[in-house]
Amino acid sequence: MVKEIERAGIPVVHICTVTPISMTVGANRIVPAVAIPHPLGNPALSADEEKALRRKILTTALEAACTEVDGQTIFEVK
Amino acid sequence: MSTFKVVHYINQFYAGVGGEEHADYKPELRDGPVGPGAAFTAAFGDKAKIIKTIVCGDSYFNENPDEAKKTLIDMIRDCGADLFIAGPAFNAGRYGVACGTICAAVSEQLGIPVLTGMFEENPGAEMFKDKLHIIATGSSATGMRTAVPKMAALGLKLAAGESVGASIEEGYLPGGARVNFFEKERGSKRAVDMLLKKLAGAPFVTEYPMPDFDRVAPNPAVLDITKATVALVTSGGIVPKGNPDRIESSSASRYGEYDITGVNDLTAETYETAHGGYDPVYANQDADRVLPVDIMRAFEKEGKIGKLYNKFYTTVGNGTSTKSSKHFAKEFAKKLKDDNVQVVILTST
């Protein structure tokens, strides 16, 4: 799906846990996630901490969308 | 002739430990064959024997690959195996990646012959087919009966150090290495046969497949994200509670388009996951963990993005064919483009 969206002319950021799969699939802007059953959350944290974590990952995703890339790039969450 | 000693790797599901709720199961070494090991035992006859089976949860392996690899290598090192077999994983993505990863590590670090099996669309196949022998299997466990004899036959050859034939003869996924062999028919006859089939519109198999370089160049970055419309898409199966379009829990044949106008937060009462390939507990408690509508709404309010697109697109990425996924995305990407969406955030589980 990432490739078809990119092909349609829309930059796409792929947030996923197993980044080697994303590389194989052919995503260009990749942001690593937390875990397979909760990529953008962590049930071990408090509700507020979890939101802060989700915000951090999505901030990285927005930065990725604003960054020119010339090939497949993984944007680590800071 | 001595009996070869085999170590077999399987996931928590095939070991009978449990399904997705046990996908975080830590590596465990058991004596003798477990689960599909019985079929291998039958196929090996007296030529080889599974001495140990390693059981490991798919999520555990994929979320902690370095730790998992190290633990498994330590377990396998002392087994004195002549052959290491993993799977078969069919079209189970995390299982396939785990099988490929551990096979590659065993081969590299312990120098033991390795073998696995998976469906050609398994992401593990693309990642490892040029590094190890992967027997081509069907997409689901119903292919076990045909997969095991092929894996056992090639496994015995590898354990004995015999030369391995071409992929077409042995049944493994072509990894790019060329193996010479004699065809039964001469080239001119094969070419004419192929041409006749082609003219008749009948299926034919080329002897020289073109490499598949399906890469899409990245689009330029968004110039001003604070004015851009951003859309959310997921393969994690998030749907309105009750799954109104009945998206299948695996091998999805459809995707959903759902309006989120006025939705600021996904709750346990309103949204859930239809995905059957991961433990749904966390997504069902709070679907924002997979489809982050809450934070995207906050970004919208704070002016960090122009706006959140009023619909999201979703499907279940669990054994779903590449062909279906491609078709889904082609269809909704056109709508996104027509509605002037400038960025897509796609989340996967």
CA distance to partner chain B, nearest, from residue A78 (Å): 17
- From chain B, the residues in CB contact with A54 under 8 A are 288-289, 292, 294-295
Handedness of CA B42, B44, B47, B52 (dihedral sign): negative
Question: Is 0.95 exceeded by the ipTM?
Answer: yes
In chain B, which residues have pLDDT < 70? 1, 210-213
A23-61 burial, b if ≥16 CB within 10 A, otherwise e? bbbbbbbbbbbbbbbbbbbeeeeeeeebbebbbebbbbb
The pLDDT value recorded for residue B1 is 58
CATH classification (class only), B4-170: alpha beta
Q: Which of A1, A21, A54 sits opposite B325 (nearest CB)?
A: A1
- From chain B, the residues in CB contact with A30 under 8 A are none
Largest Cα separation within chain B, whole Å, is 74
d(CA B114, CA B125): 14
Strand partners, B114: B84
The pLDDT value recorded for residue B213 is 63
CA distance to partner chain B, nearest, from residue A22 (Å): 9
The pLDDT value recorded for residue B212 is 66
CA distance to partner chain B, nearest, from residue A1 (Å): 5
* CB pair distance less than 8 Å for A41 and B286: yes
The pLDDT value recorded for residue B182 is 83
Q: Name the closest residue on chain B to residue A47, using Cα atoms.
A: B286
Q: What length is written for chain A?
A: 78
Dihedral pair phi/psi, residue B259, rounded to 5° = -80, 130
Size of interface A-B (CB pairs under 8 A): 191
The pLDDT value recorded for residue B241 is 96
User: pTM for this one?
Assistant: 0.77
Question: B48-56 and B28-31 as β-strands: parallel, antiparallel, unpaired?
Answer: antiparallel
In chain A, which residues have pLDDT < 50? none
* CB pair distance less than 8 Å for A11 and B221: yes
CA distance to partner chain A, nearest, from residue B48 (Å): 34
Q: Please give the structure tokens belonging to residue B284.
A: 């069902």
CB B349 within 8 A of CB B249: no
Strand partners, B50: B6
C-beta pairs of B71-75 under 8 Å, 24+ apart in sequence: B71/B26, B71/B27, B72/B9, B72/B27, B72/B102, B72/B105, B72/B106, B73/B105, B73/B106, B73/B109, B73/B110, B75/B27, B75/B29
